[in-house]
Amino acid sequence: MRLGKGIVYGVIGVIIGVVLTLLVSPQMSASRSNDPETVVPTTTQATPPMHHSEDGMTMNQMVDMLRGKTGDAFGRAFITGMIEHHQGAIGMARLTEQNANHEEIRTLSEQIIAAQEAEIAQMRAWQDAWGY
């Protein structure tokens, strides 16, 4: 199956984001100062959990779930979490049809729905192909 450029760039962007989050989170926590005048936020503090997956996990918990996993265990957990995340984004975007005042938001939401549905289909195809 041939992937569109948008899907490839989207998947690459997600992977880079997860890797950066995994690399930066421990460093930011370690660099936190005890001086109340100098507060360096941790990744968790800087990124409040806004999305809960179907099983109630926050985005930060989903990222934590990936820590220490490698190979197929990482791939399986990553794809499962990312599908849940994308489904949440689609749900949010669908709310704009009835609730958004600006056409720009509606247009963006349509693009989000199309891209996220395509990426979910690709990840489900990978799950099938890789026995996840």
12: confidence class by pLDDT, cuts 50, 70, 90: low
The answer on pLDDT for 48 being more than 50 is no
The answer to whether the CB of 66 falls within 8 A of the CB of 85 is no
- Secondary structure letter of residue 4 according to DSSP: P
Residue 83: count other Cβ atoms within 10 Å of its Cβ: 19
Q: What is the mean pLDDT of residues 24-49?
A: 38
Residue 62 has a pLDDT of 84
How confident is the model over 113-130, as pLDDT tens digits?
Answer: 999 999 999 999 999 999
Report, in angstroms and rounded to the nearest whole number, the Rg of the chain calculated over CA atoms.
17
Q: Is pLDDT above 60 for 8?
A: no
How is domain 5-130 classified at the architecture level of CATH? Up-down Bundle (1.20)
Which residues make beta-bridge pairs with 52?
58
* Model pLDDT for residues 50-109, shown as the tens digit of each residue: 444 445 678 888 899 999 999 999 999 999 999 999 999 999 999 998 999 999 999 999
For the chain, the structural domain boundaries read 5-130
Ranges 11-20, 40-49, 97-106, most confident: 97-106
Which of these, 55, 57, 66, lies nearest to 25 by C-alpha position? 66
